[in-house]
Amino acid sequence: MPKADPLKRPEAALRKFALTFPETVEEFPWDHSAFKVKGKIFVILSRDEGRLNVTVKLPESRAHALGLPFAQPTGYGLGKHGWVTGTFAPGDGVPIDMLREWIAESFRAIAPKKIVAASDGEPASKKWPGRSGSTQVRRPGRR
C-alpha cells in the first residue's frame, strides 16, 4: 500500500487560497500550476523529486523571506526581480499561514491596480465570505 503524500494537503490548501483572488485563472505551463491574473503569473506551485515548491513575487518581504531556511531566490534570473521560492520536503512543516501572506503580497504586486483596489488585495473568500471569486481552471490543450 503506497504511503500518503504529506505535501498533498498543504498544496491543496495553497491552491484553493490562490483561486480566491479576483479574476484568477489556473493554467499548467511546464506541468506546474501557475495562477494568473490578467495573464500574469503571481504564484507557481510545482512538485520536484517529491518536494513542493511555492514561487511568489515578494517586493516587500523578500529580505525576510530569504532569511528562512526553506527559501531561496527563484532561478532563471527571476530572483533578482523579487521572486522567491520556498521548497518543502515530505516531513517538513509547511507554514501555510505565512505562504498565504506571501501569495497575497504577490497578487498585490502583480495584479493591475484597479483589481487590487477593488479587492483591497484580499482574497474573495475574506472580502465576501462564502464566495470564491471569479476563477477558472484552464487544462492543458484547452482554450
Helix segments in 1-143, DSSP class H: 8-18, 62-66, 96-110, 113-119, 124-127
**In this structure, are strands 51-57 and 83-88 parallel, antiparallel, or unpaired?**
antiparallel
Residue 88 falls inside a structural domain: yes
CATH number at residue 57: 3.90.1150.30
Query: What's the CA gap between 142 and 135, in Å, rounded?
Result: 16
Render each residue's pLDDT in the chain as its tens digit; 143 residues: 567 899 999 999 999 999 999 999 999 988 899 999 999 999 999 999 999 999 999 999 999 999 999 999 998 878 778 999 999 999 999 999 999 999 999 999 999 999 998 877 566 555 533 334 444 444 444 43
- Dihedral angle sign, alpha carbons of residues 26, 14, 61, 133: positive
Classify residue 103: in a domain, yes or no. Answer: yes
C-alpha 134/C-alpha 127 separation (Å) is 13
| Domain of residue 41, residue span | 8-118
